[in-house]
């Protein structure tokens, strides 16, 4: 019986190796599949007096080719590339919009000031004045068009944020469910791991990394824990967290992300700067660095241009002898922003007007422990900290009060990009004259001195005061700088997308060379295991013949 038993163990070993090789071949193109192999050892030998005689093969288990270090690198590279790729896709339309040499804002601004100069050259010409009003309408319409397009992109980003949060929640729940299945299937612990379920879980983790940057840890029971942000638990054992979006009561422009682990407790707000990697990281970074920054710049230019032009225009007289008229409309004297506890802050323009001190920034103002803190949103830098709100801040006036622990996001400029319009419709109302042209002491309709001052606004440095308070930029150079900054960001993101793609390809190739299925190798294994199966069968056949001969002798 010993020889027959030995043959049987060899037969079973060869059979399961054939099954495993066939399983590898069948799943060669299954994404995330790891090559498997049967581990075998020898049966404990039998002592027969003069020594130990072997008793055949012992199947130890089925092992998958898995390396935790390679898997971690793959998740990290996947999250990085997904963020860069999605960021590139998001920023390209915005970059094309603002940098268009024909339909961009720069040519409209140039045509506007050309029309101003034409009135300065021919102040008595109604046709020149009408041309100025027409070019002004074109300019304000261009501002509104850009703002509307940015709003469309913003709505898409907010919707995608909600969708990605739902996908993250669903994948986290699926990983938790697989943890449960793996725990139930691992009846013999590490000796008999459910390899296909482990591969499915790793593949889900990779898909999750494409949505958000994650860290994974495998405990001694084989359960996967998943962490996001600064260590928030997304999956632990058979429980998972819910990621969602909700309206931000302190910021009317943004939806914020909330996190809740398990099915109880109130959702917690997750600071968006903690969430990086994947599509979610790209959406948040693009919203902050691309959309918000560009809409701030657009509204800033609309606001400062309107305020400065109106201030000078009010000093002049139209052909009808009327002065103190605004040229542009749509820039309110004050704006009110509501905090997350219902308090209101009022923001206005400093008196006297100081456009040089203004910056194209939005801020978060917090009041906690008796201290007001003003933080710039685009980079998180603290710009002010004190027991009271500053009366004047970067060319703005601030008034009102917050409750303890309250926050409010103040965006002084973005709205004006979409509301800028013309206050004049009558070409005679254009204030080209410095004195009343209808009075006896006036200089008549040929007076162009105020229009010359308005024309000078094109080349006068009025924005971005340095530390000494001296303006460093004109309206057009300020906008050109903003467009160039966005272009630099777009190129940087494109470079990162290319580099991260090369990295993820390299890591994936390394993982596949270690854990992937090599069809040539498996084909050779099939032949080898087939021969082993035939040899074991031959062993059993010989053992049967020997047994029959023994029985024949006994008869």
CA separation for the pair 474, 87 (Å, rounded): 31
- Please provide the distance, in angstroms rounded to a whole number, between the alpha carbons at the two ends of the chain: 19
Report CA-CA distances (Å) from 190 to 24, 67, 223, 364: 21, 15, 12, 52
Q: Which residues of 437-452 are buried (b: 16+ CB within 10 A; e: fewer)?
A: beeeeebebebbbbbb
The SS3 assignment for 409 reads strand
Q: Which pair of tokens denotes residue 191?
A: 């000796």
- Residue 64, pLDDT score: 92
- Residue 358, pLDDT score: 96
CA separation for the pair 459, 449 (Å, rounded): 16
- Residue 221, pLDDT score: 85
Helix (H) or strand (E) holding 304: helix 293-313
- Residue 398, pLDDT score: 96
Q: Which pLDDT tens digits describe the chain residue by residue (555 residues)? A: 577 788 788 888 888 888 888 998 999 999 999 999 988 888 888 777 787 887 888 888 888 999 999 999 999 999 999 999 999 999 999 999 988 888 889 999 999 999 999 999 999 999 999 999 999 999 999 999 999 999 999 999 999 999 999 999 999 999 999 999 998 887 665 567 899 999 999 999 999 999 999 999 998 888 999 999 888 999 999 999 999 999 999 998 999 999 998 777 788 898 888 899 999 999 999 999 999 999 999 999 999 999 999 999 999 999 999 999 999 999 999 999 999 999 999 999 999 999 999 999 999 999 999 999 999 998 889 999 999 999 999 999 999 999 999 999 999 999 999 999 999 999 999 999 999 888 866 677 889 999 999 999 999 999 999 988 899 999 999 999 999 999 999 999 999 999 999 999 999 999 999 999 989 898 998 898 888 878 878 887 787 777 677 777 766
- pTM of model > 0.85: yes
- Residue 125, pLDDT score: 94
Is 109 within 8 Å of 483 (Cβ atoms)? no
Report CA-CA distances (Å) from 505 to 74, 200, 370, 494: 9, 20, 53, 17
In 3D space, the residue among 212, 108, 145 whose CA is nearest the CA of residue 475 turns out to be 108
CB atoms within 10 A of CB 281: 23
The SS3 assignment for 347 reads strand
Question: Got the DSSP string for 392-444?
Answer: EETTEEEEE---TTEEEEE-SSTTHHHH-EES---GGGS--BSS-TTSTTS--
Q: Which pair of tokens denotes residue 121?
A: 């050259």
- Residue 187, pLDDT score: 67
């Amino acid at each position: 019986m010993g020889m027959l038993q030995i043959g049987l163990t060899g037969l079973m070993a060869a059979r399961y190796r054939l099954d495993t090789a066939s399983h590898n071949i069948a799943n060669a193109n299954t994404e995330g599949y790891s090559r498997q192999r049967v581990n075998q050892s020898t049966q404990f030998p039998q002592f027969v007096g003069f020594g130990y005689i072997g008793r055949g093969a012992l199947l130890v288990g089925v092992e998958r080719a898995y390396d935790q270090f390679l898997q971690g690198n793959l998740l990290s590279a996947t999250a990085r590339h997904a963020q860069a790729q999605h960021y590139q896709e998001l920023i390209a339309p915005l970059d094309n919009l603002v940098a268009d040499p024909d339909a961009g804002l720069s040519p409209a601004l140039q045509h506007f000031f050309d029309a101003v100069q034409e009135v300065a050259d021919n102040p008595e010409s109604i046709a020149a004045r009408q041309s100025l009003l027409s070019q002004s309408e074109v300019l304000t319409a261009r501002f509104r068009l850009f703002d509307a397009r940015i709003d469309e992109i913003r709505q898409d980003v907010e919707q995608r944020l909600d969708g990605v949060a739902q996908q993250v929640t669903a994948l986290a729940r699926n990983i938790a469910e697989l943890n449960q299945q793996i725990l139930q299937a691992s009846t013999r612990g590490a000796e008999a791991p459910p390899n296909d379920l482990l591969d499915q879980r790793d593949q889900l983790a990779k898909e999750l990394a494409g949505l958000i940057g994650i860290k994974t840890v495998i405990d001694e029971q084989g359960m996967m824990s998943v962490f996001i942000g600064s260590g928030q638990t997304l999956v632990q054992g058979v429980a998972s967290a819910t990621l969602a979006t909700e309206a931000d009561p302190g910021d009317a422009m943004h939806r914020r992300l909330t996190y809740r682990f398990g099915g109880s407790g109130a959702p917690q707000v997750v600071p968006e700067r903690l969430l990086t990697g994947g599509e979610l990281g790209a959406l948040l970074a693009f919203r902050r660095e691309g959309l918000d920054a560009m809409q701030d710049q657009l509204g800033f230019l609309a606001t400062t241009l309107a305020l400065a032009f109106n201030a000078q225009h009010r000093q002049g007289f139209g052909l009808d002898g009327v002065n103190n008229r605004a040229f542009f409309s749509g820039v309110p004297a004050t704006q009110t922003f509501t905090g997350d506890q219902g308090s209101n802050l009022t923001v206005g323009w400093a008196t006297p007007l100081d456009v040089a001190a203004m910056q194209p920034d939005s801020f978060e103002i917090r009041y906690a422990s008796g201290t007001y803190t003003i933080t710039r949103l685009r980079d998180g830098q603290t710009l002010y900290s004190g027991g009271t709100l500053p009366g004047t801040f970067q060319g703005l006036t601030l008034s009102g009060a917050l409750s303890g622990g309250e926050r409010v996001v103040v965006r002084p400029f973005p709205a004006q990009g979409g509301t800028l319009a013309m206050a004049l419709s009558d070409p005679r109302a254009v204030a080209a004259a410095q004195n009343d042209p209808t009075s006896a002491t006036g200089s008549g309709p040929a007076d162009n001195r105020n229009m010359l001052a308005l024309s000078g606004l094109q080349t006068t440095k009025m924005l971005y005061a340095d530390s000494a308070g001296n303006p460093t930029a004109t309206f057009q150079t300020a906008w050109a700088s903003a467009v160039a900054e966005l272009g630099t960001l777009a190129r940087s993101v494109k470079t990162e997308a290319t580099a991260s793609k090369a990295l993820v390809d390299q890591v994936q190739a390394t993982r596949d060379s270690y854990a992937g299925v090599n069809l040539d190798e498996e084909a050779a294994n099939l032949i080898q295991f087939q021969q082993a199966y035939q040899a074991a069968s031959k062993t059993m056949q010989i053992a049967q013949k020997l047994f029959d001969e023994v029985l024949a002798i006994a008869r």
